[in-house]
Structure 1
Amino acid sequence: MTLQSRTVLTAPQPSRRTVVGGLFGLGAAALAAPLLTACGGGAAADPKTVTFGSNGADATPKSAYAAVTKAFAKESGLTVKTNTVDHDSFQKSISSYLQGTPDDVFTWFAGYRMQYFAKKGLATPLDDVWEKIGGGFSEATKQLSQGEDGKFYFVPLYNYPWGVFYRKSLFQERGYTVPRTWSEFTALAKRMKKDGLSPIASGYGGGDAWSILGAFDYLNLRANGYEFHMSLMRGEVSWTDKRAATTLDLWREISPYYQQGAGGRSWQDAAQSLLDKKSGMAVIGLFLGQQVSDEALRADIDFFPFPEIDPANGQDAVEAPTDGFMLSRRPKNEKGAKKLLEFLGSAKAEGLYMGVDPSNVAVHAQADTGSYNPLQKKSAELIASAKHITQFADRDSDPGFISTVVLPGLTQWLGHPDDGAALLKRIESQRSRFFTS
């Protein structure tokens, strides 16, 4: 799942990891009584006002967005009227909201989730905005901001990577070397187990089943490449494809090195075992910093990219969920809204946001990183070097499919990993319920 409760060393944003089943069902019962409504309702357009629908209800992101919109107002002479709703309510009512009279600009997610609303005609293309801001973003980020029709619909603000985290002092004490390839990774895991450690920290109990998807995504990306992974996520290829079976075979290979009892443990407890040097590694996101308050301990945390499996794919793909903004289908003040989006897509805006909320990594290539801690700096470098950026399984696929079919199957399988054929057949039998050709 995608992270909704992570603090890259500061305040958390609860629920961003929550998979909302059936999120995109336009007639879903959960959306019958919309919780998210637009500022101003049906009032006539005010050429001096831009309305902004925000999911940043927690104190830190709310203050960060306020700093950004205040700076834009001062620079442009326009007023930004912000409509802030808590993250879960925003997601649950987003479809009804966009079909009604939404705010001009609204917060949302890159990739598949953006493309869904673009394809439904619930968002306005932003090619003219990208003509002005495009020079500040990598090709991979541009990829994430385009709809299926090749037009731009999204302006990114921040992201954060997943990797394999560890404690530097543990590696130094034990003489461990950071692995680059799959064989080196499995050899290190075997050595850690012999040394009495749980090689790979893991906790996917209760509502934390989403945490296993980071490993699944990376295994599939490294073994089969970005194109196959995205086709699988979007329901375009069969889950009984031999390449999907290869992914499970690789996962089964390292399953003996997973922390025992993972199905009854939270991700926080698993992360703590890494910090306590009871586990050697953890496949997790930068939000691991949420567990840390001691600066000396924070300085001892590091990560490396998930290892290479097939040299043809290398380590080119990085899992880095990206948040940003979209323009509603019929904005009341389109001209002003596009001015706001141009500002939001600037290095200045990202710097203002990160100055209040340092729990993310700026996406803009020219963003000021002077205040970044070492983990943030390394995260920014990793993402900037990526040929492809993926979001996370529930953002790159239909979230209902992931939450009701894929996740239950994978978590059950991880408890007793077999050859995986039966599991993949069960998942495939449900694919047509969520994806149409």
Structure 2
Amino acid sequence: MLIASGLGLGGAALLGGCGGGDSSGSGASAEPGAVRFGVNEARGSGPAFQRNEAMANAYAAAQGVEVTLNAVDHNTFQESINTYLQGTPDDVFTWFAGYRMSQFAENGLISDVSDLWPVDGMGEAFQQASTAPDGNQYFMPAGYYPWAVFYRKSVFEENGWTAPESADDFDALLQDMDGKGITPFAFAAKDAWAPMGTFDILNMRLNGYDFHMQLTKGEQAWDSPEVRQVFERWAQLLPYHQQNALGRTWQEAATSMANGDCGMYLLGTFVVDGVADVADDLDFFTFPALDDTIGNDALDAPIDGFCVAAGSDNQAAAKAFLQFLGTAEAADAANSEADAPMIAANSNASTEAYGALQKKSAEVVQQASSIAQFLDRDTNADLANTVITAALQDFIRTPDRIDEITTSIQQQAQSILGTS
């Protein structure tokens, strides 16, 4: 049975992610048992919560064990996770691939789950995304989503607009939307992570994927001409974005796109969670090339999944649950119950619930030459959450302070990353 309870940040309530069930093609099985499962979505908040709840229910029913579900809103989860993991965490928790996972592994806050790999239905790319610098796996992927430019097909058709294929097409589209009284881009920055998507795509379009990864590791400087170029281009685009973004959540921005006040929205495919009523009318295009020598085949496509907390005193049961969460069975359970399906990491999962957006998303990711995990997942958490988020919000507020902002980021990045 599934017991659901609220998440207390001071108690055992924030984490989730072990697996049991079919171990075909996988590493060693662990013994199922009662587990505590924490998720980074508030109860009843939408499809993401529904999917996690459905997977927990499916496991509890199949194994005849108790899964205690704890839920907290996304932003609070993000801000509290480090402290929580050093306290008395739940057995399994929702988390992310990339640097954010590796950082917890290096700090001894999550458990090595290499004995569960390889995983049937997940290829080398997913295993690599689950691997820390020590060569071991600490993560179980569940799904992924690309960031792209979303729009309503009916709005584009009514205005004779088409997806831009070049920088000139893009600029012309912005000007035409603006001239017709439609704000080209919905935009939100109250959720401090959201503007990182715009920075990432501009950086990869102007400087390339390799530069993006070097920047996040401290191998390139934040006050370099290349980064200043990103902010300069962004400053040119800001007038085409919704104003007063610092007071707007991503869901509110999505509503602005859904109701036709804004023509487009750069976000992940989870945008459908906020505009379910018009989901069938949505389409997207990848952000166009801004430098033909770089192209537009790099994108952010973060991988969501689960980890086992090292502080859990229930490691065997936690690993059994984690193993299940990586199966096609778990993905199918999630997608059969949620209002909007996730794009499953396990290739054996059914695609029956996928709509046009999910199918197109999977194709776009498969065709991409380079995949980033998102700025706050590709770099040090302290740098991302305490420095870069504040700097991007500062830039949005005062875009004429580029030199001051980039210099400040670089000084703090040197201190946090220990680079010179």
TM-score scaled to structure 2, two decimals? 0.80
Describe how 1:280-299 pairs up with structure 2 within 5 A: 280-294=263-277, 297-299=278-280
Q: Which amino acid is the alignment partner of residue 375 of structure 1? A: L
Describe how 1:6-405 pairs up with structure 2 within 5 A: 36=13, 49=33, 51-55=35-39, 58-59=43-44, 60-61=50-51, 63-70=53-60, 72-73=62-63, 79=65, 81-82=67-68, 84-87=70-73, 91=78, 94-95=81-82, 98-99=85-86, 104-133=91-120, 135-137=121-123, 139=125, 141-204=126-189, 207-294=190-277, 297-329=278-310, 337-359=318-340, 360-405=342-387
1:138 Cα deviation (Å)?
Answer: 6.1
CA RMSD of aligned residues (A): 3.4
Relative distance call for 1:67 and 1:380 in structure 2 (3 A) is: farther
Are the aligned partners of 1:64 and 1:353 in contact in 2 as well (CA < 8 Å)? yes
Any idea what the Cα deviations from partners look like across 1:20-47, whole Å, max 9, x if unmatched?
xxxxxxxxxx98x5564899xxxxxx95
Are the aligned partners of 1:222 and 1:314 in contact in 2 as well (CA < 8 Å)? yes
Relative distance call for 1:92 and 1:175 in structure 2 (3 A) is: closer
Q: Structure 1 stretches of 5 or more lacking a match?
A: 1-13, 16-29, 40-45
1:92 Cα deviation (Å)?
Answer: 5.5
What secondary structure sits across from 1:164 in the alignment? strand
Q: Structure 2 stretches of 5 or more lacking a match?
A: 1-5, 17-29, 45-49
Are the aligned partners of 1:138 and 1:384 in contact in 2 as well (CA < 8 Å)? no
Query: Distance between the aligned counterparts of 2:176 and 2:14, measured in 1?
Result: 55
Are the aligned partners of 1:249 and 1:419 in contact in 2 as well (CA < 8 Å)? no
Relative distance call for 1:363 and 1:71 in structure 2 (3 A) is: farther
Any idea what the Cα deviations from partners look like across 1:240-265, whole Å, max 9, x if unmatched?
12221221122123233223444454
Are the aligned partners of 2:325 and 2:331 in contact in 1 as well (CA < 8 Å)? yes
What secondary structure sits across from 1:131 in the alignment? coil
Fraction of identical pairs, as percent: 38
Q: Equivalent residue for 2:21?
A: none
Query: Distance between the aligned counterparts of 1:388 and 1:37, measured in 2?
Result: 32
Q: Equivalent residue for 1:22?
A: none
What secondary structure sits across from 1:58 in the alignment? coil
Relative distance call for 1:250 and 1:292 in structure 2 (3 A) is: same
Are the aligned partners of 1:36 and 1:93 in contact in 2 as well (CA < 8 Å)? no
1:61 Cα deviation (Å)?
Answer: 4.4
1:435 Cα deviation (Å)?
Answer: 2.1
Q: Which amino acid is the alignment partner of residue 177 of structure 1? A: T
TM-score scaled to structure 1, two decimals? 0.77
Are the aligned partners of 1:239 and 1:427 in contact in 2 as well (CA < 8 Å)? yes
Q: Equivalent residue for 2:25?
A: none
Query: Distance between the aligned counterparts of 2:314 and 2:98, measured in 1?
Result: 26
Query: Distance between the aligned counterparts of 1:379 and 1:433, measured in 2?
Result: 38
Query: Distance between the aligned counterparts of 1:278 and 1:261, measured in 2?
Result: 15
Are the aligned partners of 2:55 and 2:331 in contact in 1 as well (CA < 8 Å)? no
Query: Distance between the aligned counterparts of 1:409 and 1:102, measured in 2?
Result: 31
